[in-house]
Structures are given as C-alpha cells and as structure tokens.
Amino acid sequence: MSIHLESCTFGYGRGKQPILTDLTYTVPDGFTVLLGPNGAGKSTLLKLASGLHRPRTGCVRMGRLASHDAAFTKQVAWMPQTITPMTGLTAREQVAYTGWLKGMGKSEAWEAALVALSRVGMADRAAIKAKQLSGGQLRRVGVASALVHDASVLLLDEPTAGMDPTQRRVFRDLIVSLATAEVRVLMSTHDIADLAEEADQVTVLQNGRIAFTGPTQDFLGYAPYDTPQGRRAETAYAAVSSFATAQGTR
C-alpha cells in the first residue's frame, strides 16, 4: 500500500506563497529518486507524505488511513536532512528510542536497533555516544532510525549528504536491496549522476509542481541518444527542467 497525495497545497505561514500547489502524487513502487532545485518543495513533499505537516487543502492517505492516524505513522519512516544527536545517548539508544516512539516495546526496539545499525554498517559504533560520531556516521544513524520499525514506506531527505564515495556506494546498495514490492523508498537527492540510473522511478519537482514522474528509462530518454553513459541522468534532468520552465512561462 502506498501514500497518495491528492490536490495538496501547502505553504509556511498565512498569506505566503504556497510551496506546493494542487499537487497530486502517489509514491511509486520500488526505489524512487526525487529531484529538483533548492526551493522546489522536495522536503515539503516528504514532510506531507510522512504526516509531519498537513496540507492547507487536499489530503494525504494510505488506503483508508489519513496522515494524522497513528496507524499511518507506524507504516511510514521519515529521515530529515539534519540528524540531531541526542544528548547522552549512544547510537543504539538513539535508534531504539525512535523505534519506541513508533510503538515498539523497549526490548523489541533495543534488539531491532542493533539490526538496523548493522544494515548501515554502524554495528561497531553502536555503543559510541551519538554526539561523538562524524557527520557521515550520524546520517547513517538517521537511516538506521528510519529502518528500525520495518516501515512500508521510507522517505529519505538528502540521506547521502556528508558521506564519502565509499559510504555512498554502500548506502545505494542498501537502498536498492530494501526497495521491494512491500517497501517503497522515496529519496530526495542532488546526487543525480550517481543515483538516478539505479532507481526504478524518477520524480522531478519544480516550482511546487511535478515536472516529471515515471520509470527511469523514460526519464533517461530525455537525454540525446549520443550522450555519454555517465552524463545521461544529468543531461536528462537538465532537459526536463528546461521543458518545465518553458511550459511555466507560457
């Protein structure tokens, strides 16, 4: 079961220009990369989909569940751009605490936290205080927190920021292995060249509207046939963005 946003409009503060306008979107099956320039509304879309924010108009649902229902939030995991280390807690304790907030029992969350940390290559740092971790390590703790309660939809906001190339490679392999018919992953990123070609689906957001959403091969088809393999995703993104801009000015 997936998350569906229906005719959603959202803005921060009364009287301010909406960031998302009349947006309708269903999180696709498998692994989807969410692309768009800064200010396009990617983080806002993820927050609406997670139930953290409610739209001014429209609704967010998963089947019969509304985004404010407790059963909805148990099925959804959201990882924000900024991961804040909890004072005095180890990496394992921080991940376990997230599981507890999602309704897991304390012992269940404690065991699941170590499993989640192992999946992101952080089992050997489980007993280290979260405040002592590097930026890249802390982001992996954030991913583990998103994984700990076996959510059916993972919403990840710039999860590879601060990771070195090796860490990003490990993370991409993890995401590809997680994305199945039962688990959907929607991940915003600026790492176009490295990620877009490995995704099942690509969604491009521009000026608060969907400029493109569809299978990766359809997205890559926007690049000229003679584009070098390593530049296809970047070139396709530029073409989609230019087309959307042209359409918006008509």
Per-residue pLDDT at 81:
83
Give how far the C-alpha of residue 74 lies from the chain's centroid of Cα atoms, to the nearest Å.
16
In the predicted model, is pLDDT for residue 250 greater than 50?
no
d(CA 124, CA 122): 5
In the predicted model, is pLDDT for residue 106 greater than 90?
yes
User: Are 189 and 233 a contacting pair, CB within 8 Å?
Assistant: no
Per-residue pLDDT at 118:
92
By mean pLDDT, which of 23-27, 44-48, 151-155 is the weakest? 151-155
Phi/psi at 204 (5° precision): -115, 125
Per-residue pLDDT at 156:
92
| Stretch 137-145: mean pLDDT | 88
pLDDT tens digits, 185-229 = 999 987 776 566 688 999 999 989 999 999 999 999 999 989 988
E strand residue ranges, 14-97: 20-26, 31-35, 57-62, 65-66, 76-79
Domains of the chain, start order: 4-248 (3.40.50.300)
In the predicted model, is pLDDT for residue 108 greater than 90?
yes
In this prediction, residue 249 has a pLDDT band, given cuts at 50, 70 and 90, of very low
Give the predicted TM-score (pTM) of the model: 0.87
Nearest to 25 by CA among 180, 147, 204, 232: 204
